Amino acid sequence: MPSLNVSLPAPLREWIDAQIKGGRYGNASEYLRELIRRDQERQAQERLEDLLLEGIKSGNSSPLTQQDWAELRTEVAERLQKRWGGRAKKPR
């Protein structure tokens, strides 16, 4: 795997060291890879939201039924359960 050298000010390096000492990460590389993955997910989510807004603004939509909303709530709740390890609230 290719390496990348990064210069950081002392407070940022101390923050990374604290995350490692806290036991969530084995080393600085693991921490930085996780941050990059989260940023990729955030950008993908923003892209999805942009596409959804574009679709809504297009006016080419069909009305959702109560069943559609119930299925959507269930799907979102399941995704949140996976992401947050059971800490997400269930839909009403």
Res 89 pLDDT > 60: no
**Packing angle, helices 28-58 and 10-21, rounded to 10:** 100
Average pLDDT in the 51-79 region? 84
Output the CA angle 26-2-9, nearest 5 degrees: 60
Q: Is 88 helix (H, G, I), strand (E, B) or coil?
A: coil
Domain ranges in the chain are 8-59, 62-92
Q: What predicted TM-score, i.e. pTM, was given to this entire model? A: 0.61
What confidence tens digit (pLDDT) does each residue in 7-54 have? Answer: 999 999 999 999 999 999 999 999 999 999 999 999 999 999 898 888
The pLDDT, as a whole number, for residue 24 is 92
Contact 50, 56 (CB under 8 A): no
Residue 82 reports pLDDT greater than 70: yes
Q: Round to whole Å and give the CA distance between 60 and 52.
A: 12
Which pLDDT value is given to residue 61? 67
